[in-house]
Amino acid sequence: MDATFFALVGLIIFLGILAYVKVPAMLTGALDKRSDQIRNELEQAKKLREEAQQLLAEYQRKRKEAETEAKSILSAAEREAAVLREEAKAKTEEYVSRRTAMAQQKIRQAESDAINEVRASAVDLAIAAAEKLIGSKVDSKASDELFKSSLGEMKTRLN
Examine residue 137 and state whether it is found in any structural domain, yes or no. Answer: yes
Digit-coded pLDDT (tens) for 26-58: 788 889 999 999 999 999 999 999 999 999 999
Query: How many domains does one find in the chain?
Result: 1
Rounded Cα distance between 86 and 70, Å, is 24
Examine residue 152 and state whether it is found in any structural domain, yes or no. Answer: yes
Examine residue 95 and state whether it is found in any structural domain, yes or no. Answer: yes
For 118-150, b/e burial (b = at least 16 CB within 10 A) is eeeeeeeeeeeeeeeeeeeeeeeeeeeeeeeee
| C-alpha count within 13 angstroms, C-beta hemisphere, residue 141 | 0
Question: How far separated are the first and last CA of the chain, in Å rounded?
Answer: 175
CA 103 to chain centre: 36
| C-alpha count within 13 angstroms, C-beta hemisphere, residue 51 | 6
Examine residue 15 and state whether it is found in any structural domain, yes or no. Answer: no
Residue 122 sits at φ, ψ, to 5 deg, of: -65, -40
Examine residue 120 and state whether it is found in any structural domain, yes or no. Answer: yes
Examine residue 2 and state whether it is found in any structural domain, yes or no. Answer: no
Range of the domain at 91: 43-158
Examine residue 14 and state whether it is found in any structural domain, yes or no. Answer: no
Rounded Cα distance between 38 and 142, Å, is 144
Is residue 138 within 8 A of residue 146, CB to CB? The reply is yes
Is residue 18 within 8 A of residue 24, CB to CB? The reply is yes
Could you read off the pLDDT tens digit of each residue along the chain, which spans 159 residues?
A: 788 888 988 989 988 877 777 777 778 888 999 999 999 999 999 999 999 999 999 999 999 999 999 999 999 999 999 999 999 999 999 999 999 999 999 999 999 999 988 888 888 888 787 777 777 766 666 777 777 787 787 777 776
Examine residue 154 and state whether it is found in any structural domain, yes or no. Answer: yes
